[in-house]
Structure 1
Amino acid sequence: MTLMSRLLQRGIGLDTPVTRDVTVQHDLRVPMPDGVELLADRWAPRTGGASLPTALLRSPYGRAGLIGTGMARPLAERGFQVLIQSVRGTFGSGGEFDPFRHERTDGLATLEWVVEQPWFGDSIVLVGASYLGYTQWAMADSLPPQVKAMIPNETESALTLEFLRADGLSLETPFGWGTMVADQERPFPLLRRIAQGRKDRRALATLPLNRADTAAIGRPSGYIQDFLAHDRDDEHWAGIDHRHRVAQVGVPVSSIAGWYDIFLPGQLRDFEILQAAGRPARLTVGPWTHLSRHSTPIREALGFGLAHARGEQPPERDPVRLYVTGAETWQDFGHWPPPGYPPRRFHLQPGGALATEPPVESAPEVYRYDPADPTPAVGGARMVPGPGRVDNTELEARPDVLAYTTPPLDDDVEVIGEVGAEIWFRSSLRYADVFVRLCDVDQRGRSYNVCDGLISLTDADELTRATVTLWPTAHRFKRGHRIRVQVSSGAFPRYARNPGTGEPHATATTLRAADQAVHHDPAHPSAIILPTSRTP
């Protein structure tokens, strides 16, 4: 294990540990109010661990592997004792795993148990990414005084609800997560996950979609059936939404996000709520996807978390630290979104042009969208290996993708903040989607995606101004580069394909192709709206 410790230190660039002599107590039993017992492992230095702050991680993914060796060990070597608990119904913990439902009650009961243990010092820091971050928000408004800080990483207080919008069902991520947790406790999980990814890709083409889980894992999944049947606003999900707790959190929060992370919009919303409520909070957004491996969560736990646990102040920095892609540098700000980046409209023009001037009289451009051959998802915010920033050249060559591009820029243009688009759109069918993507075209003509978004329309056969919310961003378009906007009608399987019939996604069996028209004339000024500031 000393070799593993050294490899981790070198691999993620950590300082030399206080100790490498760490011990693990396995299968500690934590009682819940209903009599169910949850299992936990305690990592601590062999000597002196009982006096240290406790880092608590509550996970549905087990207590070993990347969570144990990759997260608990580095923290236990550098000033924490670490408790990793398997949530209800997972990896030996009692009860049934009903995703998201028990995390508030079980989490608060776990905190009560921790402070009563003979090895407990006097402080707790909540740590963890994704589901592990969500478990923090589930109890954030009722934390005992022993909790000194939260470090939610690539997560948000409502977690999967952003995926389940009635006006834009994000299919790939919740489906893939559902198949992953269905069989994660079987042997050789990493090897099986590779094979499962191939099965998932084939299964997502199944009609009707409510049979796709059986095609992927051989049986129905309760979670997959639920998200296909109930959209975000359905009462079915009321118990898993903890957005109303964010403003009431009473401890400092350090949020870590990624520009290509699946939870970015919700995480930025949570941070804005904290700022508006005057809560002590800071935000770091890097160039990461959801599956990126980087040292920031561990560094924040050791810097921000450990300082607060000891009653000290962490190293001074501005509340908001953003990695500006394109410039490939970090910048600090006082707020999100930062001031000094007023919205600027870039209008779609005839002939594939993009300019700040209003469009001239022109005929709409038309493309055909066929859900039987859907426009594919390329890169972007996805929970699969290899997304993020990728070359879009092949995608833009498809006949179902329109592209609008500025001339080469005379100066750098920096875009930081919320990005939106207004696309005047008409379909030959009543039901259609509008997908908009912002790209940076370099001097060699390669087009790299910056951010994007999709909206589903229910009156698309009438000329409609489709208002599309794209992912937020911090990106610098360098002098000599070009700004490009793509318009299409899908990004499958990231988003569910629109069958064009109005049938529910779960039960739709008919796919209808549509002719889509994008208007850009003085009466219908389609545009992308960018928060911009020219840089020197």
Structure 2
Amino acid sequence: MNKFYTLLLVLATVYSAALAQPQSNYAKEHYTKKEVYITMRDGVKLFTAIYTPKDASAKKKYPIIMQRTCYSVAPYGEGNYPARLGPSDLMMQEGYIVVYQDVRGRWKSEGTWTNMTPVIDTKKSKRDVDEGSDTYDTIDWLVKNTLFNNGRAGQWGISYPGFYTAAGILANHPALKASSPQAPISDFWFDDFHHNGALLESYFFTYPVFGVQKTDTTSKAWYNNQLVNTNGARDGYQFLLDMGALPNADKYYKNNFFWQETVNHPNYDEFWQKRDLLRHYNKVKPAVMLVGGWYDAEDLRGPLSIYKTINQKDPSAYNTIVMGPFGHGRWSRETGHTLHSNVYFGDSIATFYQRNIEAKFFNHFLKGKGDKNSGLPKAYMYNTGKKEWAQFTQWPVANAQHLKLYLSADGKLPMTQPASQGSVSFISDPLKPVPYTEDNTTTMGFTPHNYMSEDQRFAGRRTDVLVFQTDVLQDDVTLGGEIMSHLKVATTGTDADWIVKLIDVYPANEPNHPYLPNKNILMANYQQMVRSEIMPGRFRNSFEKPEAFVPNQKTNVDVKLQDVLHTFKKGHRIMIQVQSTAFPLWARNPQKFVENPYKATDADYVKATHTVYNDSYIDVEVLK
């Protein structure tokens, strides 16, 4: 087994529990471990590990804090302890009854596994179960059967465990007082495995973890024999390009149920819609703190969309959001110097979050008064340009001013529409797609990471990437809030993807910082990705009913980018890049309209000339 698959198995097994925490005996010295099976209302038994502080007593009771996971609650065995318990070392030392549970169908739990279990709002019998009911039944058992608990429960989780936390909000158990979904998936069509319906082919190697049913309760990975035989390949771009059209993946995944579900549901049909969490938040009872990273390549949309949805549907709920300068889940561990890709943000930022935000939230609602006066703001957001935290009473900010940045045919990015009509074109060849990253060593990993703030000079120097930029800024410009791209485009083909990237261009005299991980990088003229997104043109009018382009006909395509809080400093430039491929991050569009692009043949992949007109613009929100 090569090093990549060794890493894959490690990540899949302990992903939710540790994220490479330092070794420690604290948990074993201060906690007592108990392993139990908790029976759900339909009779399925879920394996649960309970860690209780050794000094717990009738006079010293602790709240329960729980994580439900599909990645295993290892280490198994009542004599075996992890290096860390709970969300942080600080909270472990302060003392909580910490609970981990294998969700149904995974590891040592019974039942059948499904990805993003659909929510059943109205349950008519004990057979109607979902993650909300499993959360309810688990909390109900815990508060009744776990000694020395104070009757309050909280839930947290990162990534897929973040989804279980977000779905657990819907449990509505009276003991559930605080919930912190961190990097949660909210809808597989818009986040994680897809963006706006565009497939992330960079996730190709993860499907065995999510698409193979186990046959019995187990403490060992059962999907090992389903891993892709790469024959020692290390370059994911070349491996996946050589694989060709997606039907060729049946060589590996003919019996992988999640892959087959994906390729057989190319549109936003009932299969995907019933996995949309957002439509189920109405009255929210527990206090909620969404947490995300501005550079989370897996689940950026989830925390933002859940936060906004709860605000809209239940304005009276205690609902807050935290967004830091982190990649996926990186706020859960301290790295000392906080970097993403080559960008340095400061020191001990994860510790600041854990001490001043996360612990404060849980302590208030699980140990303290539990009222809405937690001392935390509505939104705790990190400005990735100024490199400092900012607090807001509302997000998006109410008094933000909208600004339009036009894609001028001369490559400029003016704030007023060009006086005369113009356009610029490029040839897109799906057989020679634009790479999404310059670092080929990362293209066969579990999921992408560094590209979210990576230097974009490698892309902007290609002829199939359009570049538009402002003059050198004379003053700081802070973008804070939502971004919508309104493209006016045409293509000689009948289908196309449209990718928009917002970039911060550093000055020519920018010095290198002392913690630069890649010594071959120059921060001078660095083109830092701030935000990017893809929109399949076939879904420009409807995600349910795709439409072909009429060749050479000017057409509107809107591309919604996720929120930002970023100050473009004086002396920098704002840049927009537009392209149609970013491989293998996103699967290639054949550029010939077919009913199901996942079943397009190699012959369906064709060159096309794409045109962007100069009345296209990017609508941004500016904070004064």
What TM-score range do you get, normalising by the shorter chain?
0.7 to 0.9
Which of 77, 84, 91 aligns to 2:93? It is 77
The question of 1:34 aligning with 2:42 is answered: yes
Task: Tell me the amino acid that sits aligned with residue 533 of structure 2.
Answer: G
Match of 2:256 in 1: 221
2:322 aligned with 1:284: yes
3-state SS of paired residue (2:35): strand
Which residue in the other structure is 2:14 paired with? Answer: none
- Matching of residue 344 in structure 1 with residue 403 in structure 2: yes
Instruction: Classify 1:495/1:203 alpha carbon distance in 2 versus 1 (closer, same or farther; 3 Å).
Output: same
* Offset from partner CA, 1:1-59 (integer Å, 9 cap, x none): xxxxxxx9x989xxx99987233535311112232211111122223178211101100
Correspondent of 1:431 among 468, 489, 495: 495
Q: Is the 8 A contact 1:57 1:85 kept in 2?
A: yes
Distance 1:18 1:500, change over 3 A: closer
Q: Does 1:505 align with 2:597?
A: yes
Cα distance in 2 for partners of 1:292, 1:194 equals 30
Q: Is 2:595 aligned against 1:531?
A: no
Higher alpha-carbon deviation: 69-78 or 145-154: 69-78
Q: Which residue pairs with 2:291 in the alignment?
A: 256
2:591 counterpart SS class: coil
User: How many equivalent residue pairs?
Assistant: 514
Aligned to 2:65: 55
Seq. identity, %: 24
Q: Quick check: 2:187–2:277 contact (8 Å CA) kept in 1?
A: yes
Q: How far did 1:135 drift?
A: 1.2
Return the match for 1:273 from 309, 325, 328.
309
Superposed displacement of residue 435, structure 1: 0.9
The answer for the alignment partner of 1:110 in structure 2 is 138
Question: What does 1:474-493 align with in structure 2 at a 5 Å threshold?
Answer: 474-493=565-584
Instruction: Choose 471-480 or 314-323, whichever is displaced more.
Output: 314-323
Q: Which of the numbers 220, 228, 235 marks the counterpart of 2:270?
A: 235
1:423 and 1:465 in contact (8 A); partners too: yes
Residue 333 (structure 1) aligned with residue 376 (structure 2)? no
In structure 2, the CA distance between the partners of 1:124 and 1:211, relative to structure 1 (3 Å rule), is: farther
Kindly indicate whether the alpha-carbon contact (under 8 Å) linking 1:44 and 1:76 is maintained by their aligned counterparts in 2: no
Equivalent residue, structure 1, for 2:127: none
Aligned to 1:407: 471
State how far apart, in whole Å, the 2-side matches of 1:418 and 1:28 are: 46
Residue 613 (structure 2) aligns with: 519
The 5-angstrom pairing of residues 122-141 of structure 1 reads 122-141=151-170
Under a length normalisation based on structure 1, what TM-score does the superposition of the two structures give? 0.87
SS where residue 599 of structure 2 aligns? coil
Q: Judge conservation of contact 2:473–2:572 (CA < 8 Å) in 1.
A: yes
Q: 1:526 to 1:385 in 2, by over 3 A?
A: closer
Deviation at 1:212, TM superposition (A): 2.2
For 1:486 and 1:118, locate their aligned partners in 2 and report how far apart those are by CA, in whole Å: 56
Whichever residue aligns with residue 106 of structure 1, its letter is D
**How far apart, CA to CA, are the structure 1 residues paired with 2:409 and 2:82?**
56
TM-aligned CA distance change 1:11 to 1:84, over 3 Å: closer
Equivalent pair of 1:435/1:488 in contact (CA under 8 Å): yes
Show the counterpart of 2:518.
Answer: none
Whole-Å separation in 1 of the counterparts to 2:49 and 2:386: 43
- Paired residue for 2:367, among 310, 314, 318? 310
**1:291 shift after superposition:** 4.7
Query: Does the 8 Å CA contact 2:452/2:531 hold for their aligned counterparts?
Result: no
Residues 199, 219 of structure 1: alpha-carbon distance in 2 compared, 3 angstrom cutoff:
farther
Q: Distance in 1 between matches of 2:106 and 2:477?
A: 49
How many angstroms apart in 2 are the aligned matches of 1:291 and 1:197? 28
Task: Name whichever of 301-310 and 410-419 sits farther off.
Answer: 301-310
Matched position secondary structure for 1:90? coil
Cα distance, 1:483 vs. partner? 0.7
8 Å CA contact retained: 2:185, 2:191? no
Conserved 8 A contact 1:137-1:246: no
1:323–1:474 CA contact under 8 A, matched in 2: yes
1:310 to partner: Cα distance? 2.1
- 3-state DSSP class of the match of 1:426? strand
Q: 1:398 aligns with which of 436, 445, 462?
A: 462
Deviation of 1:285 (Å) = 0.5
| Residue 22 (structure 1) aligned to one of 21, 30, 45 | 30
Residue of structure 1 equivalent to 2:545: none
Letter matched to residue 613 of structure 2: H
Q: Tell me by how many angstroms 1:233 deviates.
A: 2.6
How far is 1:485 from its partner? Answer: 0.5
Q: Which runs of 5+ in 1 are unaligned?
A: 1-7
What are the equivalent positions in structure 2 for 1:172-191 lying under 5 Å apart? 172=201, 175-181=204-210, 185-186=220-221
Shift of 1:130: 1.5
Match of 1:4 in 2: none
Give deviations 1:105-125, integer Å, cap 9, x for gaps: 322222222122142431100
* Alignment deviations for residues 180-200 of structure 1 (CA, whole Å, 9 cap, x no partner): 4458943999xx999899586
Q: Give a deviation string over 1:132-166, Cα, whole Å, max 9, x none.
A: 12112324233211111101101144355545769
Q: Deviations over 1:320-373 (max 9, x none)?
A: 111111111111111110123211011122321111122143542111111111
What is the deviation of 1:488? 0.7
Q: Deviations over 1:197-223 (max 9, x none)?
A: 9586666443442442643xx653211
Within 2, Cα distance between the matches of 1:81 and 1:128?
Answer: 15
Q: Does 2:122 match 1:94?
A: no
1-structure distance, mates of 2:385, 2:438: 16
CA shift, 1:92, in A, is 1.3
- Report what 1:452 is aligned to: 532
CA RMSD of aligned residues (A): 3.3
Q: Does 1:44 align with 2:27?
A: no
- Cα separation, 1, equivalents of 2:191 and 2:146: 41
Q: Is the 8 A contact 1:411 1:479 kept in 2?
A: yes
Residues 258, 63 of structure 1: alpha-carbon distance in 2 compared, 3 angstrom cutoff? same
- Unaligned 5+ segments in structure 2 are 1-17, 76-80, 118-129, 213-218, 334-349, 440-445, 509-524, 538-547
SS of equivalent residue, structure 1 residue 100: coil
- The CA deviation at 1:266 is 3.4
1:361 lines up with 2:415 in the alignment: no
